[in-house]
Amino acid sequence: MTTPAKVLFTGKTHVTAGSNGAAHSADGFLDIKLAQPHPAAENLFAAAWSACYLGALQLAAQQRKVKLPSEPEVDAEIDLNNAGGAFFLRARLNVSVPGVDRAVAQELIEAAHGICPYSKAVHGNIDVTTTLI
């Protein structure tokens, strides 16, 4: 018998299409215009994944008792591609972990993928390149 999952947070948004398109979160935190055509979905996905990934990286450091002398950063690039009429995504995460030994930083960025729910969601579904910068 498995223990039911505890919901930690639920993001709720309302999105409309068209020239006056917009996305609004129920808590008022997100309020963005999404006029068509737009690359907003890729930008929003990049921002959300990066935020989650940074939290996972910090947790990986904490689990390994690695002190992060400064805050890590992620530059994410999400490509929307089309081949033969099929749309698909590709991602590049360029990760900076300043002040941490390069080998340790590499271990942390790899561990973060095993922790981050966004990384888990896309695992095996899209090409992802993670680079320590």
**Each residue's pLDDT tens digit, 64-120:** 999 999 999 999 999 999 999 999 999 999 999 999 999 999 999 999 999 999 999
The first and second tokens of residue 25, run together, are 């979160």
Q: What does the pLDDT look like over 119-131, one tens digit per residue? A: 999 999 999 999 9
